[in-house]
Amino acid sequence: MSPRLEPGDAAPDFTLPDADGKDVSLSEHRGRKVIVYFYPAALTPGCTKQACDFTDNLELLAGQGYEVIGVSPDKPEKLAKFREKESLKVTLVGDPSKETMEAYGAFGEKKLYGKTVTGVIRSTVIVDEDGKVERALYNVKATGHVAKLIKDLGLASE
């Protein structure tokens, strides 16, 4: 299993194709905070809920200086279908080789319905303006995660 990132670690740079096949690199976002979240598959119920939650809160997050990038093992064509079907506004990138997921500790053994399987570990890594890991959250729940993240980051409007 790939090692998990800790606060203060340098976030591994990546360049992955987005839903339109254009390359997106983490290094392009230097100077801004980036929420990089890893999810198992586009067009599945939990991943749709999570992507919609990020989209619904994108204005709040962007207003606080955060960019959001969702990473899955899907190919750009499937990501485009996902984006269109759900009217998603977050940047979605595909990592079919799973190299980026492994570098972030978001791919490996996990429990699924009591069985140990190898797959994508639903994770969220917050990268600061300098490209360092601010927070690394693993085995997060799809439902309610974005609201909790906003609260934990102190962004919730009271």
- Residues classed as catalytic: 47
- CB neighbours of residue 143 within 10 Å: 12
Distance set, CA 121 to CA 41, 42, 107, 130 (Å): 11, 14, 5, 25
Residue ranges of E strands in the chain: 15-17, 23-25, 33-38, 66-72, 91-94, 107-112, 115-120, 123-127, 133-138
Place of tokens 């976002």: 29
Helix (H, G, I), strand (E, B) or coil at 22: coil
Helix (H, G, I), strand (E, B) or coil at 65: coil
Name the token pair of 70.
């969702």
